Homo-oligomer: A and B are copies of this chain.
Amino acid sequence: MKEVLPQFNSTFSIDCVVFGFDEGELKVLLIERNEEPFKDWCALPGNLVRVDESLDQSALRILKELTGLGDIFMEQFYTFGNVDRHPQGRVISIAYYALLRLGGDKALKPITSYAKKAFWKNISDLPKLAFDHQMIFEKGLEKIKRRIKHQPIAFELLPEKFTLTQLQNVYELIMGKKLDKRNFRKKMLSFGVLKELDEKQKGVSFRAATLYKFDRRKYAKLFGKEISF
């Protein structure tokens, strides 16, 4: 028999799908849960929304508490509401996603005891996840796949100066397929957000590639808008 906690009769939570790009690998941020249900399971960082916070505020608060990460730009992408998705009652979950460039500065450390630890995991090597988090993860991945085709989100995953090959790698990793080099470059340059630098890649002996950075002003103008059609 299923026991339903009264405070769970009908409520809502946030789950975060935070992607991190790290030297040619696409990773997702997970926690190890310290609370029932699904105690000791791996899960996306998520928790209940408080009555006095907006969904956007809640997403930031929850991510910070469970992983230590702050100042992350997250965007809502879907709300999951199957009747039986939570074993303790009716809980729908509003999912957010973010894309980060990983570096040594982003240490993970849960602030609350709700999570035992937080860690990055390569998306090709995910453990079994609590609740319907596998489905939430997949929908988040689908979302960034669609987004990256129309918005310059890839730039957020690269160092300030990058080669077109590095840029293409980000696209291929997210889209999960190889792209034609010539078409890719032509399309990318046509957006007008790339600035060619008078500088070559360092530490490469043979045919060092030209470095680019992106034009923040044009980028800001484009961001939030679609760039095709």
**When the two chains form the complex, which single residue of B10, B54, B78 contacts A12, counting CB atoms closer than 8 Å?**
B10
Contact assessment for A51 and B82 in the assembled complex, using a CB-CB cutoff below 8 Å: no
**Assembly stoichiometry (copies):** 2
Q: Which residues of B contact A10 (CB under 8 A)?
A: 10-12, 51
Closest Cβ neighbor of A14 among chain B residues: B81
**A67-94 interface (Cβ within 8 A of B):** 76, 78-79, 81-83, 90, 92, 94
**When the two chains form the complex, which single residue of B49, B51, B81, B226 contacts A54, counting CB atoms closer than 8 Å?**
B81
Closest Cβ neighbor of A58 among chain B residues: B81
Report the minimal beta-carbon distance from A27 to chain B, rounded to whole angstroms: 24
Whether A55 sits at the interface, judged by CB under 8 Å, is: yes
Interface residues of A (CB under 8 A from B): 9-12, 49, 51-56, 58, 76, 78-79, 81-83, 90, 92, 94, 146, 149-150, 187, 226, 228-229
